[in-house]
A and B are shown apart, each in its own frame.
Chain A
């Protein structure tokens, strides 16, 4: 089973709202990732968690706040977003950070629209 699940599938929010995106995997993977993907572009890395600790922040604005409550869950908290933050947000996981078998498996994404 190589399934990563994400909720919600779609989210519409105003610039003053606070919302959260959720990601879950039950493959025993110890690295989890958030990506942002704009239309017709490849995914861009935002954050990497390894063994529930934040290991990479690709200079993402503080209005995006990641959280990894346990090895199966990854959240992305959103606050005071801008319309240009509208995108497909993808979660991914991989078995072991730093391993040559560190293949990343993606979830279906959350389509976010900021009004």
Chain B
């Protein structure tokens, strides 16, 4: 079945540094989504990407939908302590485009 390979598994960075994480797959997806999840809470949608090559920003976050539709990256600029959490990439597939498969997640820890 569809699988997403997300890397890195975890990051420990200095406050103010830029962060980059990515997801790759052997399958093609029509939509890529990036979520952030805090402990004990549900995933919160950060960025949605619908078109190959699309580059989208949301404040300090920037994400791109790879041109082959098999990969995506998320960048966070000038990280701050509240960026701590788990970041998941997710791809939509299925006959009706309603099955979401998640990457394993990237745990972000920021050292203030």
Contacts and interface: CB of A to CB of B under 8 A. Distances in A.
A7 interface: no
A90 interface: yes
Nearest to A58: B99
B92 A106 contact: no
Interface string B52-88: 0000000000000000000000000000000000001
Contacts of A50: 96, 98
A42 B23 CA distance: 14
Interface size class of B (residues with CB under 8 A): 20 to 34
Contacts of B8: none
B16 interface: no
Contacts, number: 68
Contact of B41 (A40, A41, A45, A108): A108
A31 interface: yes
A103 interface: yes
Given A2-B45, A103-B48, A97 B97 contact: yes
Nearest to A4: B42
B96 A106 contact: no
Given A42-B88, A42-B103, A98-B98, A106 B35 contact: yes
- The listed residue with most B CB atoms (<10 A of its CB), out of A42, A43, A101, A104, is A42
Interface of B: 30-31, 33, 35, 40-45, 48, 50, 88, 90, 92, 94, 96-100, 102-105
A-B pairs, 9 with minimum CB distance: A42-B102, A106-B42, A98-B96, A109-B42, A108-B42, A106-B43, A103-B48, A97-B98, A98-B97
Interface of A: 2, 4, 6, 31, 33, 40-43, 45, 48, 50, 55-56, 88, 90, 94, 97-109, 111
Given A33-B100, A102-B97, A104-B33, 13 more contacts: A31-B98, A42-B88, A42-B103, A50-B96, A56-B98, A90-B43, A97-B96, A98-B96, A103-B45, A103-B48, A106-B43, A109-B42, A111-B40
